[in-house]
Amino acid sequence: MNPTPTSAQSPSDHVDPVALDATDATASAKIRPGRSRRSGRRANASMIIGAGLVVLIVGLALISFVWTPYDPTTIDPAARLQSGSLTHPFGTDTFGRDTLTWVMVGARITLLVGVVAVGIALLIGTPIGIISAFFAKQPWGMWIDAVIMRANDILLAFPALLLAIIFAAVYSPGTGPAMVAVGIAAIPGFARVARSGTLQVLGSEYVRAARASNRRIPAIAVVHVLPNIAGMVIVQASVAFAISVLAEAGLSFLGLGTQAPTPSWGRMLQESQQYLSTHPELALWPGVFIALAVLGFNLLGDGLRDRFDPKMEARGA
Amino acid sequence: MPENLLEVRDLTITPAGADAPVLHDVSLSLAPGERVGLIGESGSGKSLTAQSVMGLLPEELHARGQVHLQGHSGNLLEANEKTLAGLRSDIVSMVFQEPMSALNPLMRIGDQIAEVLRLHGKAPRGQIPTRVLELLRDVHMPDPDSDRFAYPHQLSGGQRQRVMLAIALANSPRLLICDEPTTALDVTVQKHMLDLIAERVSAVEAGLLFITHDLAVVAGVCDRVIVMYRGRIVESGSVDEIFTAPKHEYTRGLLASSDLEATDDRGRLFTLKTALAYSGPQIGEAEASVDVREPGDLRDEPQISTRPDHTGMSVAGSTDEDSVRTTSARDGAGAASVRDDHRTPSVRESAPLIEVSDVTRIFRGRGLFGRRRSDVTALGGIDFSVAAGARLGIVGESGSGKSTLLNILSGLDRPTTGHVRVGDIRVEAASSQALRRLRENLQIVFQDPFASLDPRMRIADIVAEPLIAAGVDKDERAARVEEMIAAVDLDQDSLRRYPHQFSGGQRQRISIARALVTRPQILVADEPVSALDVSVRAQVLNLLTDLVDEYALTLLFVSHDLGVVKHLCSEVIVMRAGQIVESGATEDIYANPQDEYTRRLIAATPSLAEALTAG
Amino acid sequence: MLTYAINRAIQFALSLLVASVVIFALMSLLPGNAAQVALGTNATPEAVASLEAQYGLDRPPLIRYLDWMGGMLTGDFGTSYVTGAEITPVIVDSVQVTAILVIAAIAVSILIAVPLGTFAALEQRNWIGVTISAISQVGIAIPNFLAAIILVIIFSLTLGWFPSQGWMAPIEGLGGFLLRLVLPVVSLALVQAAVLTRYVRSAVLDVMREDYIRTARAKGLTKTKALFAHGLRNAAIPVITVAGVQLATLLVGAVIIEQIFVLPGIGSELVRAVANRDLVAVQGIVMVLVLLVLIINLIVDILVPIVDPRIRNAA
């Protein structure tokens, strides 16, 4: 093979799991195998379960706008710290507020933070990654790519929770700064995925063919790059969503995220700590729902990843 | 009855969860020391057969039947992994196709050879280092003393394959299985490797089961040949029998389509369907034309199209057909001049269409923080010119610079120094406007049929893409695309499908359609058939020939395969390490190669006829 | 290899420099200033001005940055505007607690994940492999603070085996130290182990498909022996990279765990500093955390070529 600059990959590309997100949600695309048909089917099951859980959480949040069993802010001293019953299926908290109601309303914040954070990261990170990859393919633009990726690496040194704590310190603690911080922390993940996907596409013979057919760079980006990396980006979005659910919960648990009186699962968990010895079930429901939401988005991402696995597509039938 | 070294009976392999077997009742045997070739195209089941013998079948495949190996009592298919492991490399060894990934990248090769010696305890511990050196010397490694400390990535493909052979033969097994051991290697390296396999197998007196798709390779190495087709053995016999009097129509078809010296009355290669007219691998003129129609249940490309192989090209004018037919069918230069006479008066002048003078291309080494690495000279001063309507073959092995040259010609890359003129465009100094004009006139068919089509686009959009860039309006685009897809013998239905629904040969047809849809003057084909099965290769080459005639194209055909170039091209340049070592008319260069490298290249190219006469 | 290491070290230093600028800019330039934040919104302008003068906040930003950087280079993280105390000793003490916690947790999670992930890959088609995968999938979804709460409920409040909170330095009593360490370490390690198990499993599965494993089997190794002789070292390469990222995540995860178990680690100091609006302390602690993350990345970058000769030679 001729050592053309377009095909020159540094050998470290081989081990750098490009799609590594800063956190931990699931295995990256790079060290993920092209799977056998069998595990492909099982993975499809994970997509269905994941989608089911996501629909459940979204459903709870949507219903809470029109109906909740009780008013979330009403304090009922007579009904404080009850266990699960027919009137209060999930029990009540120390102020006598209905836990089910709080779980439903809390889903809103979880999803809001996720949507905003992922939105920020996707809309900023993906174009950065694509543009960076285009520069990487130009002999004169490689240094721009290098600078962008180095900046990306530095941003990676600020995990979501840490950045959110900094924001809470500088601005006042609250949902807004938390969303923005988690979103910014997720940018490198999208940029890396988009960049490695774009590099793959740009190195392909079909893009060479398109260039030989006079397609211009913006057209190549839209016609060839975007459709071919969309799958990877969607998977990343799903994983990043799970991460932001965790980050928001953690932040609120520390008291630096969503502030009272807005219901939030993380803060419910924190408040439950005082009553752990007497009322451990107070920790149960927010805990379960945080786990379900994270599990749902992770499974969805896993299933989507198998769906979009380029290796399966390429050799196809 | 003398016991056979290997006895396979009624081997049937079925994928888990599938009803239809992929291998049907395969029976074969191999006497001690015998060399048998197992021939077939992709999907024929030849590798599965070999893997069953080794006990290396993927777990999702279930094998039934009997496999017996001398030195082990009982059916190997029923043996457990531990028993099989004991036999592997001791009694039966294997060399695989892909040399680049077959060795552990983290381990020195000396250690990888030592491991196989240690495992079977054939050499006393203290002697292992000496034995490793001996083995490396046996496979003619350039410098065994230091090579044993090398990691695989520091060796070339050919060297890695030598190491694989050294590992396979370290314990002097009784049977060596080679699964396409030379397919991934350059021609000259392939020749050495084949000689080496033959030499080493004799030296350790092992039997050989040689799996390949390349008939010419088998003819040189084996005594006996078994032909497989779609999971069945269709024929077996001595090399002479199979190659001179094949009984099964598939064997005949395979033979006919791999013989690039033989053509039918239209000057086209034989395919599975026209193989009846083929008269064996002599260098001689093809005889009477036979009207061939759908023989038996053979289909050239098993997936979508069942249209007859372009016997009736709708777009081919009959007068041209006749005039071409009257000239010597294999005389490419003659054909080219015929075309020039009545086709493209506008480009028929004395000035060549393409002129390349003193072109170099040097890639600057690049290190972290601008630390310089050594520069790589991909092209070191190239000169040649191509007349309009000519068919130029560019031959070279990997690293010869042929791909770089193509990139420069098509304006995808610029030369470091020198001049390139295509038509009236000075490529090295062209404005982006001029480059666009160049690319409208010069189109490329790429090598890998799986990578050159965007998996997420429909065929209609893929073929239309060059037209969009050229600003052709929608209705005309659709018309031109339909016309092109018909010209490459695909159904109009294909337009709505995606690339993965097509076989390799069909994808190359789509690639060709895309390249020709803008009606370029120049077609560049970059190894367009190297990834295809032999029978499909013949069809694609014939299609290419037809279209080059039909559209009066100037063809630049890049290949590592001299046989293909000889068939297709009137002129040839031979490249090596960024230089042109020889150029001229194809016939002359073949008959009388001046350069030592060209001579080696020609000698190394496997040829049926030669292999038969030599054997 | 040496030039590679030097290159990485230079990159490390540059990253650190840029990160310090970012942190300083975030803390000192954007909203109001540290004195205002420290005194609260209803402080008089005179009080703010006097605090600014006291701590030199009225100087230009570049001078303040250089002052801060220079201080850190000599091990002086400055003085809190809120408590007036030196920050350096607080950081030095607390970072030790966090380091013990995090290193113990990553060690435990590797000890769990490597065998489990390998086993899950080998038994990929059996119920046991599938079960391991499923459990690790669920494990990933449980945030470490939830794991901590569950562990406290079970092992501390119900069974009474371990204290639910508190810290004892090793010199004060090794038994007490270890006893108090168990639950925090396990809460951190379990979740990380789940994540790591999945990575190990998929790395091993990838490796099992490689041609050189087939070669190893053709040499006469059984599938399992081929994996141990040739596969695991290859699988280690992506896992090392992942484990590095994990370690960074653990470090931040420890902030919450230290809160729950009331451990005097750097996370507790960070939360306290945020609550006290002590921006100088926040700035210093964040810098230390980022420094640790970057050091981890540096170690990974140097470890990978040691395992992989291809990268060693390219470098």
Mean pLDDT of B192-206: 90
Q: Is pLDDT of A7 > 50?
A: no
Question: Quick check: B456 and A216 CB within 8 A?
Answer: no
With an 8 Å Cβ cutoff, is C253 touching chain A? yes
CA pair distance B424, B418, nearest whole angstrom: 16
| C86 vs B306, residue with greater confidence | C86
Edge-first strand order for the sheet with B232-238 is: B92-95, B175-179, B207-212, B35-39, B224-229, B232-238
Instruction: Give the span between the Cα atoms of A151 and A169, in whole angstroms.
Output: 23
Whether B85 contacts C222, CB under 8 Å: yes
State the best of B398, B438, B465 to mutate against chain A, taking most chain A CBs within 10 Å.
B465
- B55 contacts B81 by C-beta, under 8 angstroms: yes
Q: What is the structure's pLDDT at B16?
A: 84
- Model confidence at B312, pLDDT cuts 50, 70, 90, reads very low
Confidence of residue A233 (pLDDT cuts 50, 70, 90): very high
Is the CB of C145 less than 8 angstroms away from the CB of A269? yes
Secondary-structure percent of chain C, ordered helix, strand, coil, rounded to 5: 80, 0, 20
Contacting residues of B for A224, CB less than 8 Å apart? 454, 457
Kindly state the average pLDDT of the residues B40-56.
88
Least confident of A275-279, B337-341, C64-68: B337-341
Instruction: Tell whether A8 lies on the interface with C, counting CB pairs under 8 A.
Output: no
Answer whether residue B289 shows pLDDT above 60: no
For CA atoms B148, B153, B158, B161, the dihedral sign is positive
Q: How confident is the model at residue A35 (pLDDT cuts 50, 70, 90)?
A: very low
Does B54 lie at the interface with C, CB-CB under 8 angstroms? yes
pLDDT score of B374 = 66
Q: Is the pLDDT of residue A196 over 60?
A: yes
pLDDT attached to residue B213: 86
Which pLDDT value is given to residue B605?
81
What residues in C contact A154, CB-CB < 8 Å? 15, 18-19, 22
CB contact under 8 A, C310 and B101: no
A24–C237 CB contact, under 8 Å: no
User: Among partner residues A3, A205, A223, which is closest to B452 by beta-carbon distance?
Assistant: A205
Candidate from B364, B366, B444 with C-beta closest to A209: B444
Query: Which residue does chain C place closest to A15, by CA atoms?
Result: C238
Percentage of chain A lying above the pLDDT 70 cut:
83
Better-predicted residue by pLDDT, B384 or B291? B384
Dihedral in degrees, nearest 10, Cα atoms A87, A93, A98, A103: -130
Whether residue A14 is predicted with pLDDT greater than 50 in this model: the reply is: no
Residue B552: φ, ψ to 5°: 50, 50
- HSE-CB at C153 with a 13 A cutoff on CA atoms is 18
Query: Closest by alpha carbon to A117, among A168, A55, A177?
Result: A177
Give the nearest chain B residue to A138 (CA atoms). Answer: B413
Which of B364, B378, B443 lies at the smallest CB-CB distance from A2?
B378
Q: In this predicted structure, what is the pLDDT of residue B350? A: 63
Cβ neighbors of A272 (< 8 A, separation 6 or more) are A93, A279, A280, A282, A283, A286, C149
Residue B245 forms contact with A (CB below 8 Å): no
Q: What is the pLDDT of residues B245-258, one digit of tens each?
A: 888 888 888 888 88
Question: B457–A5: do the CB atoms touch at under 8 Å?
Answer: no
C262 touches chain A (CB under 8 A): no
Would you place residue B293 in the very low, low, confident or very high pLDDT band (cuts 50, 70, 90)? very low
For residues A90-111, give the mean pLDDT: 82
- This prediction has a pTM of 0.81
- Cβ A206–B451 below 8 Å, yes or no? yes
Minimal CA separation from C169 to chain A, in Å: 25
Burial class (CB in 10 A: 0-12, 13-18, 19+), B232: middle
Averaged pLDDT, B44-57:
89
Distances (CA, A) of A17 to A287, B43, B391, C298, C303: 31, 33, 46, 16, 15
Query: What subunits touch chain C, counting only 3 or more CB pairs under 8 A?
Result: A, B
pLDDT band at A63 (very low <50, low <70, confident <90, very high): confident
Determine which of A299-303, B1-5, B174-178, B419-423 has the lowest per-residue pLDDT on average. Answer: B1-5
Residues 103-162 of A with CB under 8 A from C: 150-151, 153-154, 157-159, 161-162
Across chain B, mean pLDDT equals: 82
For residue A9, pLDDT over 50 is answered with no
Q: Give the minimum alpha-carbon distance from B95 to chain C in angstroms, rounded to a whole number.
A: 8
CB C216 within 8 A of CB C230: yes
Q: Does C252 touch chain A (CB under 8 A)?
A: yes
The predicted-structure confidence for B55-95, as pLDDT tens digits, reads as follows 888 888 889 999 999 888 889 888 898 999 999 989 999 99
What residues pair up with B377 in beta bridges, in sequence order? B362
- Nearest-by-Cβ selection for B412 from A208, A310, A313: A208
For C135, the closest chain A residue by CA position comes to A295
Q: What is the mean pLDDT of residues A288-311?
A: 82
Instruction: For C312, list phi and psi in degrees, rounded to 5.
Output: -55, -45
C169-221 tens-digit pLDDT: 778 777 778 878 889 999 999 988 998 998 999 899 989 888 999 999 999 99
Between chain B and chain C, the number of residue pairs with CB atoms below 8 A apart is: 78
B399/A2 Cβ within 8 A: yes
Mind listing the pLDDT tens digit for each residue in B323-370?
Answer: 333 333 334 333 333 333 333 334 444 678 999 999 999 887 554 444
Residue C80: the pLDDT is: 81
ipTM reported for the complex, 2 dp: 0.85
Q: Does A165 touch chain C (CB under 8 A)?
A: yes
In this model, does residue A309 exceed pLDDT 80?
A: no
Query: What would the pLDDT profile of B529-555 be if each residue is shown by its tens digit?
Result: 888 888 888 888 999 999 999 999 999
Determine what percent of chain C is predicted with pLDDT higher than 70: 95
Q: Which of A14, A205, A216, A309 to mutate to test the interface with B (most CBs of B within 10 A)?
A: A205
CB pairs under 8 A between A and C: 179
Q: Does A15 touch chain C (CB under 8 A)?
A: yes
In chain B, % of residues over pLDDT 90: 35
**By mean pLDDT, which of B160-169, B359-368, B467-476 is the weakest?**
B359-368
**Cβ <8 Å between B369 and C217:** no
If one compares A54 and C46, the residue with the highest pLDDT of the two is A54
Provide the pairing of β-strand B417-422 with B425-426.
Answer: antiparallel
Q: What integer pLDDT is reported at residue C43 of this predicted model? A: 73
Residue A21 has pLDDT above 50, yes or no: no
CB-based contact (8 Å) between B130 and chain C?
A: no
- Least Cα distance to B542 among B229, B260, B214, B243 occurs for B260
Task: Kindly report which listed range (A179-188, B69-78, B288-297, C213-222) carries the lowest average pLDDT score.
Answer: B288-297
Q: Is the pLDDT of residue B383 over 60?
A: yes
Nearest Cα residue in chain B from A39: B60
Measured between beta carbons, the chain C residues lying within 8 angstroms of B368 are 7
Q: Hey, is the C-beta of A12 within 8 angstroms of any chain B C-beta? A: no
* Secondary structure of residue B555 in the 3-state scheme: strand
Minimal CA separation from C258 to chain B, in Å: 41
Q: Facing residues of B62 across strands?
A: B14
Please, which chains are in contact with B (at least 3 CB pairs closer than 8 A)? A, C
Query: B410 contacts in A (CB within 8 Å)?
Result: 212
For an interface test with C, the pick among A20, A26, A30, A31 (most C C-beta atoms closer than 10 Å) comes out as: A31
User: Which residues in B lie closer than 8 A to residue A212 (C-beta atoms)?
Assistant: 410, 412, 439, 442-444
Sequence letter at residue A297: F
CA distance A196 to A19: 7
From chain C, pick out residues whose CB is under 8 angstroms from the CB of A39: 124
Nearest to B214 by CA among B240, B179, B241: B179
Q: What is d(CA A244, CA B26) in angstroms, rounded to the nearest whole number?
A: 57
Interface of A with C in 260-289 (CB under 8 A): 269, 272-273, 276-277, 280, 283, 287
Quote the minimal CA–CA distance from A46 to chain C in Å. 10
The yes-or-no verdict on residue B317 having pLDDT over 80 is no
pLDDT band at B29; cut points 50, 70, 90? very high
Token pair 């496999």 in the structure block, residue: B67
Give the residue-averaged pLDDT of A197-225. 89
Question: How high is the pLDDT of residue C315?
Answer: 52
CA atoms of B106 and C234, how far apart (whole Å): 7
Looking at the predicted structure, is the pLDDT value of residue C224 above 80?
A: yes
Among A89-98, B106-115, C126-135, the least confident range: A89-98
Q: Taking CB atoms and an 8 Å cutoff, what residues of chain C touch A16? A: 241
- Chain A positions in Cβ-Cβ contact with residue C299 (cut-off 8 Å): none
CA distance B233 to B445: 35
Query: Which of A4, A12, A213 to substitute to test the interface with B, most B CBs within 10 Å?
Result: A213
User: Across residues C48-73, what is the average pLDDT?
Assistant: 81
Cβ contact (<8 Å) for C277 and A169? yes
